[in-house]
Amino acid sequence: MELKNFMEKLVMEKLDIVINANPSMCNCQRCRYDVAALALNSLPTRYVATSSGATYTKINSLDQQFHVDIISAITQAIRLVKKNPHH
């Protein structure tokens, strides 16, 4: 068994889509991880206990529930990183 923060998985899945929709955003790994970290800090942490792919259905339904929050958290994080890039 292990514990996973599925919010992290959902943010990483949506990161590309939102960054690609913001062409002025730097797409290097450093900035992408800064965006992911900022977005995750502003979202609730949601741990699931997982042993196999059995949690997948659960994650999918939670994806629906948090979809709008995640997109807006990433959008907000992009704005911050663009204003203050670490390089």
The answer to whether the beta carbons of residues 73 and 42 sit under 8 Å apart is yes
77 touches Zn ion (CB under 5 A): no
The interaxial angle of helices 29-42 and 56-83, nearest 10 deg, is: 110
In the list 17, 21, 28, 49, the residue contacting Zn ion (rule: CB under 5 A) is: 28
Q: Which of residues 36-55 bind Zn ion (CB under 5 A)?
A: none
Taking CB under 5 A as the criterion, the residue among 5, 9, 26, 72 binding Zn ion is 26
Query: Between residues 58 and 85, which has the closer beta carbon with respect to Zn ion?
Result: 85
Rounded to the nearest 5°, which phi and psi values hold at 26?
Answer: -65, 135
Other CB atoms within a 10 A radius of the CB of residue 48 amount to 16
Interface with Zn ion by CB under 5 A: which range of 1-9, 17-25, 30-38, 55-63? 30-38
**Rounded Cα gap, residues 82 and 84, in angstroms:** 6
Count of residues that interact with Zn ion, criterion CB under 5 A: 3
Nearer to Zn ion, 17 or 28 (CB): 28
CA distance 17 to 86: 22
Binding stretches for Zn ion (CB under 5 A): 26, 28, 31
